[in-house]
Structure 1
Amino acid sequence: MNWQIKKIDKLEADQLEQDLLEKMSDISHILHTQKYEHLFVARNEYHVVGIGVGWVNEFHPTAMYFRIFISDRAQDADRMADAIFHQIKLATVHQDKWIWAGSESDESMSTFLIRNGFRLIRKTYMPTLQMNDIQKHFKNVEKADNYISLKELLNNTEMKQSFFTLLKETYTATHQVNPVNNYSLEEWEDILLNDAPDQEHSLISHDYHCIDGFIMMHPVDSRHYEVGWLGISESTEPTLLRRLLKKQLESLSEKGVATLALEVDTTDWHAMKLFSFIDVETGEAWETYILQ
């Protein structure tokens, strides 16, 4: 073994090889803001050849999230990855599980995860579709009739409480393996609004002031939107979401939106059902693994 592992406080980009910088690009925001709990580097005589980062997601505080990056020039890469993870595990105090989330195309990490006893808990697909192509699948769908916009709902105390209760319930139901933090309804409202949904085009269905379904929409730019959180109550037919989306597709198209990005988790049966008209699983997935 010609490398040693050391815990450090901060990474200096000018000390890193280009291949490591490229591999770490999807967590660069965590590194730049230093919102990590643990940072380990493996060094040989001349270079940093491995990096391990561990951080806590406030939304799911019982897990230690982590990523490990090994340079292409590193020798004994498998052993190095295992040794870095061992240090992250030893440093973990308040969490009882470890979460890795990344691209399924990262074959070396897939091997590492299997070798260390992780199990796959979720795949997330994020296709971007042309608005015209989506609308073809909704030609024979009736538009929802009993709905209000998020902007209107926020001014109705009774309906607002019903909505955020359903939002909390649907999210919690799809994240049982890695539980969500115990937020109040007021905190759920802050979380949603901080994510900047389009309050005019995010729609909520109701039945005599009782919320039974919702789909949030988020603008990326004037021509491109993302579908956000969605869900229905237990007693509601899944077809309600198709009817609600039909209305949103029409209004967004009139607004000039040309493309729509989806985020479909395999643990979110509402989203899987709503977007079953496309084969989302043909695209590359973002995978989440857990070790407990």
Structure 2
Amino acid sequence: MLSEQTREEQLNELLRFSNEREFIKEKITNTPNQVVYIGEKELEGIGIFWKNEHHPTSVEICMVAKQETVDKESTYAKIFEQLSAKSHQTFGQSNFQLVAWQTSRDIIDFCTLLDFKGLYLTFDTTLDLLPFQQQKKKNLPKNERIYTLEELKGNTKLLAEFLCILEENYEESHLDNPLREMTQEEWICMIFSENPMTHVPAALVKDGHVASYAVCVEKNEIAEVHWLGCENQDTKSLHTLITTLSNELATLNKQKIAGHFRTTSKCEMYVLGAFPFLPVPSKVVMQKCEGKSEDKEF
């Protein structure tokens, strides 16, 4: 059995080249009872499982095997066997969801053997705001107006519309891992608990109704877009909003916009293609559910 110090040293070595190193270390710290370690004399791999309180139908899992391992399939099999038993004991569920880089063929191939199905791709990328510093602001048509999040919060009608559209778009992009039922107050609490930027453009209102929205969270010189979408595929209004937002962020000396884009969201895919975001490798979201067999094409 590995000593705690030896395991910690070997864990750091195991995660040295992992893109998810900080995320995994945080999960190990926060949920130590939901981690499995494989290897008696030497750490061969680890697995972590946890629940997302907003998506109760699946157990999220992460598996990492030692890079030099010749038979990674065997290591993943040991990890998954223990993850399955321990997560079922903890949560009483056998539905699993996993995210992997598309370049990580070893884990994707292993999960495919276990009947995991691909749900969608995600792209975590950034948009350079430097070009927007020299861009002239365009006047909006008389029937359109930009609202900040603070202004939306002070308008009961528009706030209700914004929350309704946001919920519809989010649910549509998570049909295979549905959101739990939430009240309007819970949505407001979730959005504002992230400490969003309340005084920058957040919604475009057309003819008195919310047409599109983009809510940012400030991370030093980067503005992360956490909520993004539009009503009835009104991508024109979304384009106007993102352009206006980018201009404003550039004047505030923000360097980049960061975004998380899912292939299940037409709005997010539109923004990813319409603006010069940095090309990046994608991640694939995979799921193993009892009674499901459909695999998505990307």
Query: Which bracket does the TM-score occupy, shorter chain normalised?
Result: 0.7 to 0.9
Distance 1:258 1:53, change over 3 A: closer
Which one of 269, 281, 286 corresponds to residue 284 of structure 1?
Answer: 281
Task: Give the alignment's TM-score, normalised by structure 1.
Answer: 0.84
Separation in 1, partners of 2:5, 2:115: 32
Q: Deviations over 1:2-60 (max 9, x none)?
A: xx9xxxxxx946424132243461322111112x663222223x223221211111121
Q: Give 1:244 shift.
A: 1.1
Q: Is residue 17 of structure 2 the alignment partner of residue 15 of structure 1?
A: no
Is residue 13–residue 21 contact of structure 1 (8 Å, CA) maintained in 2? no
Deviation for aligned residue 1:86? 2.2
How far off its partner does 1:171 sit? 0.6
Structure 1 residues 12, 60: closer, same or farther in 2, change over 3 A? farther
Q: Secondary structure at the match of 2:274?
A: coil
In structure 1, how many angstroms separate the alpha carbons of the residues matched to 2:72 and 2:205? 55
Residue 139 of structure 1: CA displacement? 7.5
Contact 2:72–2:106 (8 Å) recurs in 1:
no
Q: Take 1:69 and 1:49, find their aligned partners in 2: how far apart are those partners?
A: 9
Give the TM-score taking structure 2 as reference length: 0.82
Separation in 2 of the partners of 1:262 and 1:133?
18
Among 118, 121, 142, the alignment partner of 2:119 is 121
Q: Give the fraction of aligned pairs with identical amino acids, expressed as a percent.
A: 19
Q: Is the 8 A contact 1:49 1:73 kept in 2?
A: no
Paired residues, what number?
278
What is the aligned partner in structure 1 of residue 106 from structure 2?
108
Partners of 2:227 and 2:153 in 1: how far apart?
A: 16
Shift of the 160–278 alpha-carbon distance from structure 1 to 2, 3 Å rule, reads closer
1:98 aligns with 2:93: no
User: Aligned partners of 2:155, 2:76: CA distance in 1, in Å?
Assistant: 52
Tell me, what secondary structure is at the counterpart of 1:197? Answer: coil
Structure 1 SS opposite 2:84:
helix
Following TM superposition, by how much is the alpha carbon of 1:207 offset from its aligned partner in structure 2, in angstroms?
4.0
One-letter identity of the residue aligned with 2:216: M
Structure 2, unpaired ranges of 5+: 290-298
Q: 1:247 is matched with which residue?
A: 244
Unaligned runs of 5+ in 1: 5-10
Q: Counterparts in 2 of 1:52-131, with a 5 A limit?
A: 52-72=47-67, 74=69, 76-91=71-86, 92=88, 93-131=91-129
Partner of 1:228: 226
Q: For 2:247 and 2:276, locate their aligned partners in 1 and report how far apart those are by CA, in whole Å.
A: 23
Letter in 2 for 1:39: V
Q: After the TM superposition, which residues 115-264 of structure 1 pair with which residues of structure 2 at under 5 Å, given as runs? A: 115-133=113-131, 143=140, 145-207=144-206, 209-221=208-220, 223-234=221-232, 237-264=234-261
Q: How many angstroms apart in 2 are the aligned matches of 1:165 and 1:244?
A: 18
Out of 31, 41, 62, which is 2:28 matched to?
A: 31
Which secondary structure does the structure 2 equivalent of 1:226 belong to? strand
